[in-house]
Each structure stands twice: as structure tokens, then as C-alpha cells.
Amino acid sequence: MSPTCPRRTASPSVAGRALPPVGVFALQGDVREHVAVLRALGADVREVRTPAQLAEVAGLVIPGGESSVMDKLSRIFGLRDPLRHRIAEGMPVYGTCAGLIMLADRLHDGIAGQATFGGLDVAVRRNAFGNQLDSFETDLDVAVLGEQPVHAVFIRAPVVDEVGPKVEVLAALDDGRIVAVEQGRLMGTSFHPEVAGESRFHRRFLDHVTAAS
């Protein structure tokens, strides 16, 4: 079976124990798509909207959506500071599109007062490829995921302008623009693997959860 086609598997385990639940940030964005991919990989997935729900999970996916809205809602629901704390403690997190923006330490061209959760030593530019009409798809080489290219879907996507010394670049476009990064147990992509049926980034996220458990 192709590695890009998720199949339902037994629950991931650590030393014979079931992997702890993982979460999807569910205040805004394409939550259902990420939940579906993770469950197809055998994960116990929770939707996270409150600090109490965040406390129940061992890792978190932050989906695509609207980063400024995520910022505002996370403050309203009291989730912003607990999430920043968990990230600083080393919780594995994977962010796609707006999720990558929310993981960036530095944000170029954000709206007035917009903040991020931080954790990734990168600078990110919002809507770097234009508006919805400028969405596109392409194949990317991502060596850490194997030889088969990743089919990447870009929808009002950000781009990584700068990376710190501890950040590994996982993928870039032919023109050199960085679109996937990893730093320790934090990972971010400008594109939407879940839209293209690509599950290898989610598998890698679950591997980070396994290593942290």
C-alpha cells in the first residue's frame, strides 16, 4: 500500500502500552480532516477547545484555518497560555498552514496585535502565495519521509522566511522558499497533507508522541 494512503491500524503503542490520546486544536480550522487521518492511523484523538481538554492529550495538531481568529479564540477560551506552556515543556505539536503560523516565534505581516503560540525558531509570512484563487498543488521531495514525493496542496499558504540554527528544513519549493520545518518535537508545513490524503507527516507526529511518552 502506498505510504500516502492512510489505513486503520492497531493503536500505536509504547513498550506494550497504548499511546496516550492526541488532540486536534478545535476552536477553528479544518479539524475533521486531521481527526480522520489520525484515527485512520490508529490514534485515540480528542478535539481540544479548553485547558482541561488540552491536559488530557500528549500531543497536538494545529490545523489550517485563520491564524488571527485562532489567536483571538484561544485567548477567549483561556487556551493560549496553557498551550504555550505545554509547547515550552516539550509537547509534540504539528501545525499545518495557519498551524505553522501559530507555532512560529516571529510573524511577518500579521494583523495589529496578532500573536502566536511560538516554539519554532522561525519567521513566517502569512498568505505568501496570494489569495484563495492562487492556491496550487505540487510534488515535494521530503527526505525524512522516504523516496516517494509528497503531494502538497497550498491554500492561502504561509512561507518560512527565516530559520534559526536548531531548525531543520524538511522541504522547499524549487525557488528555495521553505515550506516544511522541524525543531525537536515541533513540526510545521505551509501546505495541507490531510487534503491530499498524505499521512506520513501525521505518522511522524505520532512518532514524536511515542518518543516523548
pLDDT for 3 equals: 42
Q: Domains along the chain?
A: 18-212 (3.40.50.880)
Cell numbers representing residue 2 in the block: 502506498
Closest to 118 measured CA to CA, from 96, 93, 142: 93
Selected catalytic residue, list 34, 194, 198, 208: 194
Contact 36, 5 (CB under 8 A): no
pLDDT at residue 135 tops 90: no
Strands (DSSP E) contained in 135-202 are 136-140, 150-154, 159-163, 168-172, 178-183, 186-189
Alpha helices (H) in the chain, listed in sequence order: 31-40, 51-54, 67-76, 80-89, 98-103, 200-212
Identify the band that residue 132 occupies on the pLDDT scale cut at 50, 70 and 90.
Answer: low
pLDDT tens digit sequence for 47-99: 999 999 999 999 999 999 999 999 999 999 999 999 999 999 999 999 999 99
Mark whether 97 is an active-site residue: yes
The whole-angstrom separation of Cα 66 and Cα 71 is 9
Are 12 and 206 in contact, with CB atoms under 8 Å apart?
A: yes
**Residue 89, number of CB atoms within 10 A of its CB:** 8
5 is catalytic: no
For residue 177, give the nearest of 119, 138, 131 by alpha carbon: 138
pTM: 0.90
Q: Single out the catalytic residue among 34, 97, 182, 202.
A: 97
Total residues belonging to the chain: 213
192 catalytic residue (yes or no): yes
User: Of residues 192, 198, 202, 208, which has the active-site annotation?
Assistant: 192
